[in-house]
Amino acid sequence: MSREESTTQLPSQRVSAPTIQTPQPSDFPNSSSLSTRKWNTDSLGSRLAVDAASAAGAASLICPLITIIDKSIVEKAAKGILILQSLKSSLVALVKRPHSFFISTPFLLIYTLYGSTYLTANVIDTVTSTINDRAFSNVCAGPAKFIATAAVNMSICVYKDARFARIFGAQGSSPVDKSSPASQSGMTQPNRNPVYCYPSPSNAPESLPIPKRSFALFCLRDSMTIFASFNLPTLLSPHIPDILASTPSSKTMLAQFSIPASVQLFSTPLHLLGLDLYNRQPEGGLLAADRWSRVKRDWAPSCIARVGRIVPAYGFGGVANTKFRASLMKSLE
């Protein structure tokens, strides 16, 4: 068979020309609808104002008590003053001279600390709800919230602890003039200081520097508290048995109160060791056993005091901040 005959027997096939499909305008999403779907910027300025108002209101409720408790913990670790005795003297000063208390450096430090922490958490929630097009009152529990709140809280809290250690610690005690009539009678002179439970730094001797190890311990302590206060309650509250809390709101409230308080059992030794490293700085240093004995001595009362401090701060204060924000945000929706 010849080559020409074999080629004539092959079936003829029509080869279609390639076509190019022209994209239609409907194939592309509208840029305005895309931004509307992903970013919810409605009333963003008002929402940020709500965040600030909620944080300020919650901080106002809990900061007086926390200021008094913080002072008692520092004085217990530095001078051995009984916590109840310190609490009593601070309450007397608050009742007799409330205006001096609320403009004092310790109270302003505490208010700045917790107001800024609540505000940071609220702003992160607002930013997250804006980006993900969620409800105004949405609360998140992602790593961004932990990193932001921890950074703000630790930076202010470490500074606050350093100031408290200088004001109320062993290095901040001003010497008493033994030739004065008050010292001879064994009485103090509260009239020299309007809020005599807060000694004036100008009358105190020059303070020792805060050791870097104390700063590191304070940062670790605050990281544990922040994670247990702003992240763990949202993550663990759905897993609380119904026998303990039957509704989602009650589970959230139970987690918000119990988890931050439980962490204080482990963070209190870090706090006490950081204070001891500042209060006792002899030449040549101290043995680890000596410092550990001081930590063990103050562990139980200081842990109870810190639980009494954390429950208002991140339990009651955290719930109040969340409730304030949720109710105000719903009025904007």
Determine, yes or no, domain membership for 17. no
H or E segment at 283?
none
Task: Quickly state the pLDDT bin for 24 (edges 50, 70, 90).
Answer: low
Crossing angle for the helix pair 317-332 and 44-79, to the nearest 10 degrees:
170
Domain limits for position 303: 41-170+190-332
Is the pLDDT at 311 greater than 70, yes or no? yes
Q: Give how many domains the chain has, as a whole number.
A: 1
Task: Quickly state the pLDDT bin for 80 (edges 50, 70, 90).
Answer: confident
What does the chain come to in residues?
333
CA 201/CA 191 separation, integer angstroms: 16
Average pLDDT of the segment spanning 222-231: 88
Determine, yes or no, domain membership for 233. yes
Average pLDDT of the segment spanning 165-172: 73
Task: Quickly state the pLDDT bin for 18 (edges 50, 70, 90).
Answer: low
What's the pLDDT score for residue 188? 37
Determine, yes or no, domain membership for 221. yes
Is the pLDDT at 203 greater than 90, yes or no? no
What's the pLDDT score for residue 292? 92
**Domain holding 162: CATH number?**
1.50.40
Name residues whose C-beta falls within 8 Å of residue 69's C-beta, 6 or more positions apart in sequence.
Answer: 87, 305, 306, 308, 309
Please provide the average confidence, as pLDDT, over all residues in the chain: 80
What's the pLDDT score for residue 206? 54
CA-to-CA separations, 23 to 20, 53, 258, 332, in angstroms, rounded = 9, 50, 58, 41
